[in-house]
Chain A
Amino acid sequence: MKEQSGGDLLERLGSDLSAAILLCLDDPADLVRLASLSKSWRIFVISNGFCKRLCLRTNPEISCFVRAIEVGGLSTTAVKKVGSNCSGQWHTMESEHRIFAYFGYRSVSSRFFTETGVESISASNTNAMLPGYLGPNMFSSFWSNKRKSTLTFRLSCKLCVIHEIKIQLPQEFYCRASKCRFRLGHMRNENATPEELLAEDFIWTYVSPEFSMVEIGDFQSLKLQRPVVCIGGVLQFELLSRDPSDESSDMRTLIMASRVKAIVCPLAPAFEVSLLDRMGDSILMYFPGAIPYLEDFFVQEPSFSSRRKFWRKAKRRRKNW
């Protein structure tokens, strides 16, 4: 079957103009549906990598992924037809289309949101790393830096999308800290010794703007301008003190009373990140077999006969266009 209308539109507008239209779309589901319209649309959407470009536009921090690998799924089970012209490069592009389509869907879909919380464990101003409190959810260890007022957490999942952070500080903090900001990143050396951890050799993939600290008696919500991908699982708060020389010894007590929650979308088990080198490059791995239901993501296509009937009618109408 030759679906003429979709192909005609692509030919009529040309690749540059069609690309300008697709770059205005901000939902990967729209790109997946367009790729289902016809063979020419499918080739156009996949060969130009629109899903990957959309993800990079909405989450620039994922530019550290030097490669995306699909483990299992269609990439390894597809049967290559005899005499097929499909090259390895096309299979790679198809794979990237699937990977980033689901990545984009997963990172914005509210059905996957979950709230995490943890009690901050004690930490002194002595640069010591204290035993981690393995909370029921995400945060597992914590330490602080005496040179600046930072609270550093390690999330239990290395790859997630953070939508909102809520922080509650003890009252005494508010007279000290007027603003705060946070950073997301990972350790430069994944297998760091405790001494290396204290050196805080991080690679930051995201630095937030400054938020004003407001004492409201409850959790203060730090609304993010956009969802942020946390790669590596390290979240660090920096409290910007009103008095830069303030190094009070009772910081330990105050930090112990701090509370942090986060609204996140875990990307595991469908995605994992593998840190490649000390420069921050990493590989994104996609496990489609770990996703229980794909039907609700990939829109059900109408039947072949109903589509052919529709295009025949469209062809008759188009004669007088």
Chain B
Amino acid sequence: MASYERRKVTLKSSDGEEFLVEEAVAMESRMIRYMIWDGLAGDVIELPGVKGKFLSMIIDFCKKRVAWAAGGDGTLEGLKSDFVKVDLGTLIHLSAASFCLKTNDLVDLTSQTLANRIQGKTIDEICRALNPEE
């Protein structure tokens, strides 16, 4: 399956940012994968539900994971923990973006991280935990 690894595809976010990525990286997203398999994807895949800032973070994680799977350094747990080392507002956006892109393991990861912020807290603390700061 080397042919699709070399092909590149452009992902366009809701705010007009474009990212040129390898098809193997883009296909980490189940939604994009099915679009490519079904022949519905052109040269540019538009993602109206995802902003550029968060799309770039997800693409960055997918690139690192593809590199790790090909025998790179580090651990998957390390990659995942680095991905969620963000503030609450960004985490919520990343969760929504991952859900939109159907990257199921990122959805599980962000959901578990958000659940960890709620576990064992009092009601006041949950209010603060679910209310993103600036």
Contact = CB atoms under 8 A, between A and B. Distances in A.
Contact of B131 (A17, A20, A27, A318): A318
A5 B127 contact: yes
Interface stretch (A30-38, A142-150, A162-170, A245-253): A30-38
Interface residues of A, number: 32
Given A9-B130, A21-B111, A33 B96 contact: no
A17 B123 contact: no
B75 interface: no
B123 A33 contact: yes
A132 interface: no
Contacts of A34: 118, 126
A12 B96 contact: yes
Interface in B99-134: 99, 107-108, 111-112, 114-116, 118-124, 126-127, 130-134
A33 B46 CA distance: 40
A6 B130 contact: yes
A295 interface: no
Nearest to A38: B127
Contacts of B89: 321
B13 interface: no
B130 A27 contact: no
Contacts of A317: 131, 133-134
Contacts of B122: 33, 299
B119 A27 contact: yes
A311 B130 CA distance: 12
A317 B132 CA distance: 9
A14 interface: yes
Given A5-B131, A17-B99, A301 B112 contact: no
Which range contains the number of B residues in contact with the other chain? 20 to 34
Contacts of A13: 92, 95-96, 99
A22 interface: yes
B123 A299 contact: yes
A283 B111 CA distance: 34
A17 B113 CA distance: 13
A266 B112 CA distance: 32
A4 to B, nearest CB: 10
B41 to A, nearest CB: 24
B134 A24 contact: no
B127 A25 contact: no
Contact of B118 (A16, A23, A30): A30
Given A20-B108, A22-B115, A36 B131 contact: no
A320 interface: yes
A6 B134 CA distance: 16
A320 B89 CA distance: 12
A17 B95 CA distance: 8
Contacts of B114: 21, 24
A23 B108 CA distance: 10
B120 A36 contact: no
A307 B127 CA distance: 9
Contacts of A9: 92, 130
A17 B96 contact: yes
Contacts of A88: none
13 contacts: A5-B127, A5-B130, A12-B92, A17-B111, A21-B111, A25-B119, A30-B118, A33-B123, A299-B122, A310-B124, A311-B127, A321-B89, A321-B134
The 10 A-B pairs at the shortest CB distance, nearest first, are namely A24-B115, A20-B111, A21-B111, A314-B131, A5-B131, A24-B112, A21-B114, A17-B99, A21-B115, A33-B123
